[in-house]
Amino acid sequence: MALEYPTFLINFKRYEGTAGGDGLELAKTIETVQERTDTSLAVAPQTPDLSRIASEADLRVVAQSVDAAEPGRGTGEIGLPAVDAAGADGVLVNHPESPQTLADVEAIVGGCRERGLESIVCVDSVEMGRGALAFDPDCLLFENPDDIATGRSLAETAPERVETFVSMVREENVRTRLLLGGGITTGVDVEASLRLGADGAGAASAFVNAADGEAWLADIAESLADSSVQD
Amino acid sequence: MALEYPTFLINFKRYEGTAGGDGLELAKTIETVQERTDTSLAVAPQTPDLSRIASEADLRVVAQSVDAAEPGRGTGEIGLPAVDAAGADGVLVNHPESPQTLADVEAIVGGCRERGLESIVCVDSVEMGRGALAFDPDCLLFENPDDIATGRSLAETAPERVETFVSMVREENVRTRLLLGGGITTGVDVEASLRLGADGAGAASAFVNAADGEAWLADIAESLADSSVQD
Amino acid sequence: MALEYPTFLINFKRYEGTAGGDGLELAKTIETVQERTDTSLAVAPQTPDLSRIASEADLRVVAQSVDAAEPGRGTGEIGLPAVDAAGADGVLVNHPESPQTLADVEAIVGGCRERGLESIVCVDSVEMGRGALAFDPDCLLFENPDDIATGRSLAETAPERVETFVSMVREENVRTRLLLGGGITTGVDVEASLRLGADGAGAASAFVNAADGEAWLADIAESLADSSVQD
Amino acid sequence: MALEYPTFLINFKRYEGTAGGDGLELAKTIETVQERTDTSLAVAPQTPDLSRIASEADLRVVAQSVDAAEPGRGTGEIGLPAVDAAGADGVLVNHPESPQTLADVEAIVGGCRERGLESIVCVDSVEMGRGALAFDPDCLLFENPDDIATGRSLAETAPERVETFVSMVREENVRTRLLLGGGITTGVDVEASLRLGADGAGAASAFVNAADGEAWLADIAESLADSSVQD
């Protein structure tokens, strides 16, 4: 299933308290907020939990990373066929914490297209974004690695960079969606992101570290819902 | 839960037909044979299925590979805490298809010890085996990469190499268990492996490609049971 | 010093007989042919010989690969400052035998620009070429990995693919140069490459394995000289 | 040529001012001190300068890192045959800044043995040292990564760890030599290292950052010479 925009993507990364039963519980919380707010949320669980969360939670599920590899040998590698079979709806490609080669980005985006998986390529500059667009991905996730886990979002610290990025994407490829990540902390960041032209946003540490994750996410989701209505 | 020896480990690698629902079904088949033959079998599922198979099948579950990394950032990396939370009983370390650094082998074997996970270090020579024993792993998996997927096992092609290996392990470390892999195709290979002093064996392609996986595995398991009785 | 086009680039890779004193001798042979034919040739020596060949041979010298890393720690890594100080004129980026991440391609092409080193990004498809052009490299090396060491060049096996590639590059970026590699075996291949719009070509095994390297290269260089005159 | 013990190894890493002509000049300084003090010094130059420094300076030269790869394709990889042809006398293996797999450590140490190159395996714990000894390297370089560039050596901060390490090595393998690295700052550190049983020591930043590198090294070399005489 393709993602539905606007969307908000929550990445569990390898944070403590997000794996196994804890991860499933967090996914259930996200599902609850999604239903209540009638929004479209997505989760990138820790890889060992992908299949379980995809089968037990009613959420769009995104693989944190896959290797560019055909089925077969390759103990320990995460193949596209495996995350597809596990029930993933999309794949993060080239996350700054799992950077990938130009050839692998091409292969994975192409493989996602064949399988109907949403390809979400992470980039941190206008140039890298333009480079990634050559492969016609479904979505770009624009994130300044320096903003990760800082509590300050790009929409706030450098709105003109976001605008430049959005313009470039809209000019180069009308169909590719655009998410903003890095330092997204409150609903205000989400509103700012959408106002600047993004199709959604994402977070990791802010959700994981929130005293009350459900309340935190509800605030985010309401901003998402409000902005959708305005469209 | 520690593995129970003698054991037979089935590695799904990234073979077609072993992911998602198919993988769960295969795991259920293994569970069935295990119960019927009263043996101890173990499975190394594709990583995205780890949590689901661990929670739905009554089998020892081994992670195909983990990265040596603490919890936290690290999108796409597979941490020891995550596979532990996912319900894994053990971890393959340094598989020839996911070779690992000396420092990572040390860190992962140590991390397994702290968490009560079985560390199974793959080695392909007496020297590498002796090197790995320095970290006091729970188990060594001795496998000649040239034998992988050939249908010929080391116990058959070079029994004297196996004997040398077994003697070295027994001399260096009384508690470390020893599995043989590579080209294990029938129960005869399993019997030969145990007779040469191994605590078990493993396979991947032979099970995955068997016309009747359940029958194939039953033959293997009976050899395992017979040999146990003789002990 | 920037490369001078049309050019022919000889990559020693890690072939036997191309390192140390042998490598220097080969470089001297290339220098001789260059002088005699009044063409512009370039060599990518084995990395440990870079400084010596750059200082002892009168040739454009290209580093086979560099890591994207600032000066400082990093034992064993090959930094851009080091190859610059060693006398390199350019750098191969993202060679299919040393593939590089999107972020590293961006960083290395940018670093080359600052230092006045020629950045030559290897790509194997129109899409990858377009992706690499986002970073505004000095030169693209278009090579089908399947053609490497086959004795059949892309200009011969798929001239229409070359034409498509050349058109794309000319449209996207007027200043980026374009070399063809993979299976270049004789002067005829060079002529065909230039006729299709390339600014040069490159080879590795064909030179290294030639019974008489000097004669082989003279044939190549004459084709290069003829084509230049025709321009 | 094998290294001559006791020795002091200077690693240029990728420090500024150590590449190209600067690197050659530093090597000449080391050569001068070596001659004047009648000691045996060794240098690990930046890889692109290996051949040039080996041919122009009268010093033992050690490659910072090599890849475990046979001759042939492999653009950008540093092969053992290449560093051998370049005139290297030895090779650093598994440096913490270029960690290597168990299989590669085995292959490179074995390859060094065949070629008469000194294999120097870096380890940071007693267990890793014991693991590396399984491959019978010529030398171990014991270094606590936390001490790198700190100005405090292990011989000073934890002499008992050094003693434990030395005892282990002497017990396991009589022929393997032992160097200490990490935070070696003055001749006093060298004396302490030798007194604790090491066959030498090494440094990187302390030499590179010294206001007067020649004077700094002379102090080191005199400690080396004094200790040799006492033996």
Please confirm, yes or no, whether C143 is among the known catalytic residues: yes
Residue entry with tokens 């395992």: B224
Are C72 and C81 in contact by the 8 Å Cβ rule? The answer is: no
Q: With CB atoms and an 8 Å threshold, state whether A82 touches B22.
A: no
What class is the C7-230 domain? alpha beta
Bond before C71 cis per omega within 30 degrees: no
Residue C1: other Cβ atoms inside 10 A: 12
Binned at pLDDT 50, 70 and 90, residue A230 comes out as low
A63 pLDDT higher than 60: yes
- List all residues 6 or more positions away from C130 whose beta carbon is below 8 Å from its beta carbon: A134, C168, C172
Amino acid identity of B146?
D
pLDDT at C68: 94
Dihedral sign for Cα D151, D155, D159, D161, please: positive
Q: Which residues lie below 8 Å from residue C215, measured CB to CB, with a gap of 6+? A: none
Q: Which pLDDT tens digits describe chain C residue by residue (231 residues)?
A: 789 999 999 999 999 999 999 999 999 999 999 999 999 999 999 999 999 999 999 999 999 999 998 777 899 999 999 999 999 999 999 999 999 999 999 999 999 999 999 999 999 999 999 999 999 999 999 998 777 777 788 888 889 999 999 999 999 878 999 999 988 999 999 999 999 999 999 999 999 999 999 999 999 999 999 886 654
Q: Do A123 and C104 touch (CB under 8 A)?
A: no
Q: Domain segments of chain A: what residues? A: 7-230
In 3D space, the residue among D177, D129, D179 whose CA is nearest the CA of residue D11 turns out to be D179
For chain D, 231 residues long, give each residue's pLDDT as a single digit of tens. 789 999 999 999 999 999 999 999 999 999 999 999 999 999 999 999 999 999 999 999 999 999 998 777 899 999 999 999 999 999 999 999 999 999 999 999 999 999 999 999 999 999 999 999 999 999 999 998 777 777 788 888 889 999 999 999 999 878 999 999 988 999 999 999 999 999 999 999 999 999 999 999 999 999 999 876 654
Q: Which tens digit of pLDDT belongs to each residue from A129-138?
A: 999 999 999 9
**Tokens 């010294």 sit at which residue?**
D210
* A117 secondary structure, DSSP code: P
Q: Which pLDDT value is given to residue B226?
A: 86
Whether residue A106 and residue C134 make contact (CB cut-off 8 A), yes or no, is no
Give the whole-angstrom CA distance, residue C138 versus residue B120.
49
Question: Which chains neighbour D (Cβ–Cβ under 8 Å, 3 or more pairs)?
Answer: B, C
Asked if A145 has any chain C CB less than 8 Å from its own CB, the reply is no
Residues of B in contact with D123 (CB under 8 A): 102
Interface confidence, given as ipTM, is: 0.95
Q: What are phi and psi of B62, to 5 degrees?
A: -120, 130
- C touches B, CB cut-off 8 Å, minimum 3 pairs: no
D57 CB within 8 Å of a chain B CB:
no
CA dist., res. B140 & res. B149, Å (int): 20
Amino acid at B179: L
**Which residues 9-28 of D have a C-beta within 8 angstroms of C?**
11, 13-16, 19-24
- Which of C9, C15, C47, C65 is best to mutate for the D interface (most D CBs within 10 A)? C47
B225: contact with D, CB 8 A cutoff: no
Identify all chain B residues contacting D127, using CB atoms and an 8 Å cutoff: 106, 134-136
Q: Evaluate whether chains C and A are touching (3 or more beta carbon pairs less than 8 Å apart).
A: yes
Q: What angle do CA D195, D200, D205 make, to 5 degrees?
A: 115
Instruction: Pick the closest to residue D193 from D157, D218, D219, D150 (CA basis).
Output: D157
- Considering C35, C56, C77, C95, which one is annotated as catalytic? C95
Question: Which residues of A are less than 8 Å from B149 in CB distance?
Answer: 73
* C106 Cα to chain A: minimum distance (Å): 7
Beta-bridged to residue B92, according to DSSP, are B120
Find the residue in B nearest to D145 (Cα): B103
Structure tokens at C50: 């870079």
Decide if C69 touches D, using CB distance below 8 A.
Answer: yes
Q: Which residues of A are catalytic?
A: 95, 143
Of D3, D5, D29, the C-alpha closest to D193 is D5
Q: Which of D31, D95, D118, D222 is catalytic?
A: D95
The pTM (predicted TM-score) of the whole model is 0.96
Residues of D in contact with C21 (CB under 8 A): 85
Q: Is B151 an interface residue toward D (CB < 8 Å)?
A: no
Q: Which of chain C's residues have a Cβ under 8 Å away from the Cβ of D52?
A: 51-52, 55, 86
Q: What is the 3-state secondary structure (H, E, C) of C27-50?
A: HHHHHHHHHHHCCEEEEECCHHHH
Q: Are A15 and B63 a contacting pair at CB < 8 A? A: no
Which of the residues A46, A89, A98 would you substitute to probe the B interface, choosing the one with the greatest number of B C-beta atoms within 10 Å? A46
Distance between alpha carbon B1 and the CA centroid of its chain, in Å? 15
Q: Does any CB of chain B come closer than 8 Å to the CB of residue D128?
A: yes
User: What is the Cα–Cα distance from D24 to D48, expressed in whole angstroms?
Assistant: 11
Other Cβ atoms less than 10 A from the Cβ of D148: the count is 18
Query: For residue B91, which of B111, B110, B55, B118 has the smallest C-alpha distance?
Result: B118
> Are C43 and C10 in contact, with CB atoms under 8 Å apart?
yes
**Chain B positions in Cβ-Cβ contact with residue A23 (cut-off 8 Å):** 51, 85
How far apart CA A56 and CA D72 sit, in angstroms, is 50
Structure token pair of residue D53: 């420094």
Q: What is the DSSP string of chain C?
A: ----SSEEEEE-TB-TT-SHHHHHHHHHHHHHHHHHHT-EEEEE--GGGHHHHHHHS-SEEEES------SBS-TT---HHHHHHTT-SEEEES-TTS--BHHHHHHHHHHHHHHTPEEEEEESSHHHHHHHHTT--SEEEEE-GGGTTSS--HHHH-HHHHHHHHHHHHHH-SS-EEEEESS--SHHHHHHHHHTT-SEEEESHHHHH-TTHHHHHHHHHHHHHHHHHH-
Q: How many CB pairs under 8 A join C and D?
A: 178
Q: Who contacts D3 (Cβ-Cβ below 8 Å, separation ≥6)?
A: D40, D42, D60, D62, D89, D90, D118, D138, D139, D177
Say which amino acid occupies D15: Y
Mutate to test the interface with A, among B10, B11, B65, B73 (most CBs of A within 10 A): B73
- pLDDT-derived band at A173, boundaries 50, 70, 90: confident
- Residue D148 CA to residue B218 CA, distance in Å, equals 56
Beta strands in B18-73 (DSSP E): 40-44, 60-63
Q: How far apart are CA D107 and CA A53, in angstroms?
A: 42
